[in-house]
């Protein structure tokens, strides 16, 4: 499953932004409205076109992000992620932590949701117990994955205090690799994210300065041909947003490709089946931690699949 919630938020923000810009532009043209409907419609259409042209780079960034994200997902996810088979799977996927299951599902770290699911799993394993919004370690000697161990190591005074989300994400990826559920294919081109970021930050600031200088020169030039050349150069090559678009393209082009192995695909299909089963029959969105003895692992899966807000809200007090 793709992270559709995040995608929807991005889409809504973009639509609201464009609507606001269009309404502002339309109000500025209000004095031109007449009693003639055709003329009014024409004014609205021209205003819409003008709004789109004025926000060309904003629209371009939105489109580029959507295209690159879609390309990334197509490289990573299988066909099972793009269609609902409607099949059910009821068995518990033993041997895999909530961190791993959530990650191979959509290759995105779920943040607090995944941490809570892992804490519940550690409680189920009797590695910890939870009393009065406080985590108590039981020092039970069992084999844990590196990401699970990281959570335990970051429990202080009964609260979870994550020191580095990036380090936790890396441990989750490593655990998934060790379980042979994913494989990472590095880009064939030499790539250094830090160097790329510095390069485009410099380009952004330099282009901003040039953009301001050329904009000032434009107000002094009377030659039509030279004015057109300066406008094109200013808009296309010296516009700071141009370099933001280039950075997005470069970032996704050089990003390491993460794919599921055959075993990872099998687990993913079962995950999809489990989600269908839980959503259709279990009604776990209505449950909380008091139902742990009854639902056990299913409750943990409901948190992974983000269909149980009750548990997430209830356990929010475990974080510091």
Supply the DSSP string of 238-261, one letter for each residue. S-HHHHHHHHHHHHHHHSPEEEE-
Residues of the chain with pLDDT under 70: 1-6, 71-86, 140-141, 186-194, 196-197, 200, 204, 207, 211, 214-215, 218-219, 221, 223-224, 226-227, 229-243, 252-256, 281-296
Q: Are 282 and 302 in contact (CB under 8 A)?
A: yes
Structure confidence at residue 1 (pLDDT)? 43
Structure confidence at residue 60 (pLDDT)? 81
Q: Determine what percent of the chain is predicted with pLDDT higher than 70.
A: 71
Closest CA to 43 of 68, 63, 26: 26
Domains of the chain: which residue ranges? Answer: 1-76, 94-185+261-318, 187-255
Structure confidence at residue 167 (pLDDT)? 92
CA 149 to CA 143: how far, in whole Å? Answer: 9
CA 32 to CA 85: how far, in whole Å? Answer: 55
Task: Dump pLDDT digits (tens) for 37-53.
Answer: 888 899 899 989 988 88
Judge if pTM exceeds 0.75.
no
Q: Are 115 and 162 in contact (CB under 8 A)?
A: yes
How would you label 87-109 residue by residue, b for 16+ Cβ within 10 Å and e otherwise? eebeeeeeebbbbbbbbbbbbeb
């Amino acid at each position: 499953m793709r992270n559709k919630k995040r995608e929807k938020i991005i889409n809504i923000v973009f639509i609201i932004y464009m609507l606001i810009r269009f309404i502002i532009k339309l109000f500025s043209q209000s004095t031109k409205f007449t009693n003639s409907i055709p003329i009014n419609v024409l004014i609205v259409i021209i205003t819409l076109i003008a709004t789109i042209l004025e926000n060309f780079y904003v629209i371009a960034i939105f489109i580029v992000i959507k295209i690159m994200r879609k390309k990334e997902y197509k490289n990573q996810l299988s066909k099972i992620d793009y269609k609902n088979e409607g099949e059910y799977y009821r068995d518990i996927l033993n041997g895999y932590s909530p961190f791993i299951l959530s990650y191979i599902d959509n290759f995105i770290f779920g943040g607090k949701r995944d941490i809570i699911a892992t804490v519940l799993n550690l409680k189920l394993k009797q590695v910890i117990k939870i009393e009065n919004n406080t985590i108590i370690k039981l020092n039970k000697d069992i084999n844990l994955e590196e990401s699970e161990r990281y959570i335990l190591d970051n429990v202080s005074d009964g609260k979870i205090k994550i020191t580095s989300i990036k380090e936790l994400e890396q441990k989750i990826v490593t655990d998934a690799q060790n379980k042979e559920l994913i494989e990472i294919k590095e880009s064939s081109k030499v790539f250094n994210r830090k160097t790329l970021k510095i390069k485009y930050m410099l380009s952004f600031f330099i282009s901003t300065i040039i953009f301001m200088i050329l904009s000032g020169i434009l107000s002094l030039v009377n030659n039509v041909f030279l004015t057109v050349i300066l406008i094109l150069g200013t808009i296309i090559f010296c516009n700071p947003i141009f370099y933001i678009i280039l950075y997005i393209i470069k970032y996704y082009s050089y990003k390491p490709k993460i794919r599921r192995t055959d075993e990872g695909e099998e687990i993913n299909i079962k995950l999809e089946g489990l989600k269908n089963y839980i959503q259709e029959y279990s009604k776990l969105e209505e449950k909380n931690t008091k139902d742990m003895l009854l639902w056990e692992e299913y409750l943990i899966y409901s948190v992974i699949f983000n269909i149980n807000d009750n548990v997430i809200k209830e356990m929010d007090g475990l974080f510091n």
